[in-house]
Amino acid sequence: MYQLINFTVRGDYQGNLVPIEAEKDIPFKIKRVYYIWGTDYNAVRGHHAHRKLEQVIIPIAGNCDFILDDGKKRETVHLYSPNQGLYLKHNIWREFTHFSKDCVVMVLASEHYDEGDYIRDYEQFKKEVAK
């Protein structure tokens, strides 16, 4: 359903750096990058799946929980480390919540924004993944 990708940390007494390269550290060409911050602890974001888009989600600062559902099983993944990314392929329903005050989540996406790629109704999602 998902994979956690551990990125290499390069650092010393001056600080840390995490290099991320498309098609090397990330299993696809990156076509879009966006980030989310300033979200209340109890807010629930997401509420959708994608038909073909793949994503790697990285908690740049703070932490949050991702609730993932493949139509058969539901699982919660706690993201808390900026050197670890959550890799999601298509047809995974996602919601995220329990944002720490300092939470910044960066998303690397395999496709440009396309509203037609979104499944925003959970019942429709279950029908599509049951095929």
Q: Write out the catalytic residue numbers.
A: 48
CA pair distance 108, 7, nearest whole angstrom: 14
Q: Angle at Cα 44 formed by Cα 40 and Cα 49, nearest 5°?
A: 145
Contact between 16 and 80 under an 8 Å Cβ cutoff? The reply is: no
Task: Locate 32 and state its tokens.
Answer: 């879009």
Q: Is the dihedral of CA 104, 109, 112, 118 positive or negative?
A: negative
Find all residues with CB under 8 Å of 14, minimum gap 6, and list them.
none
Please report, as a single letter, which amino acid is at residue 73: K
CA pair distance 98, 86, nearest whole angstrom: 16
